[in-house]
Structure 1
Amino acid sequence: MSFYDEMAALADELLREFGKPLTLRCVLPGSYDPGSGTAPETVTDYPGTGALFDYAMLAAGQTWIPSTLIEVGDKQCLLSPAGVPLPTTGDQLVDGAEVWQVQNVKAANPAGTPVLYELQLRR
């Protein structure tokens, strides 16, 4: 086991202890069907573990302005990559009855080993 595999296992262990179960919902557009005039989506849910945080005013600086990168009400999620694919913009994160849209993704992926996903979420 490499150093980064150990770090990924530690991050997963800490998120399981101090985080909560979350579901990553990947929504992929289907191919266009000319007969029905629609492009049905394929939805796949992946159970995962993570922790949600409010963005701190000091960390966000002046980006708390509508139509900028971070808006009031956005959440930061630290998500374990264990059993979860790399999220993309447009995916959803389900926390109980709340559904959040993934706005931005940062992956801590040193030497090709995913250790942690940091997501910016918006309703």
Structure 2
Amino acid sequence: MSFYDEMAALADELLREFGKALTLRRVVQGAYDPGSGTATETVTDYPGTGALFDYETLGAGQTWIPSTLIEGGDKQCLLSPAAMPLPATGDQLVDGAEVWQVQNVKAVNPAGTPVLYELQLRK
């Protein structure tokens, strides 16, 4: 087991202990059916473990600054990559009854070993 494999296992262990169960949902649009006027969808859920955080407030409680990518109400998610594909913009993260849209993804991936996924989420 390499050093980064051990770090990934440690990150997963900590998120299981201090985080909670979350589901990454990927919706893929299929072929358009002109007869029904709809496109088929394939929904795939990936159960996982992560932790949600509010972004820190800036200055006098302001969390949204024009011309930046983070808006008020956005959440940061640290997600374990164990048995999880790399999330993509447009995926959804399901936390109980709440569904968040993935806005940005940062993979902590030293030497080709996924250790942690950092997501920016928005309702």
Q: What are the equivalent positions in structure 2 for 1:1-123 lying under 5 Å apart?
A: 1-58=1-58, 64-65=64-65, 68-123=68-123
Paired residue type of 1:11? A
SS in 1 for 2:114: coil
Measure the CA separation in 2 of the matches of 1:27 and 1:67: 29
How many positions carry a matched residue from both structures? 120
Query: TM-score with structure 2 length normalisation?
Result: 0.91
Alpha-carbon distance, 1:80 to partner: 0.1
Measure the CA separation in 2 of the matches of 1:63 and 1:21: 27
Q: Is the 8 A contact 1:5 1:113 kept in 2?
A: yes
Q: Is the 8 A contact 1:32 1:38 kept in 2?
A: yes
Structure 1 consecutive aligned stretches of length 4 or more whose deviation exceeds 6 Å: none
Alpha-carbon distance, 1:66 to partner: 5.9
Q: Is the 8 A contact 2:55 2:63 kept in 1?
A: no
Structure (1/2) with the larger strand percentage: 2
User: Aligned in 2, Cα 1:11/1:87: closer, same or farther, shift over 3 Å?
Assistant: same
SS in 2 for 1:31: strand
Unaligned runs of 5+ in 1: none
Measure the CA separation in 1 of the matches of 2:95 and 2:69: 22
Measure the CA separation in 1 of the matches of 2:9 and 2:56: 27
Query: TM-score with structure 1 length normalisation?
Result: 0.91
Unaligned runs of 5+ in 2: none
User: Aligned in 2, Cα 1:97/1:67: closer, same or farther, shift over 3 Å?
Assistant: farther
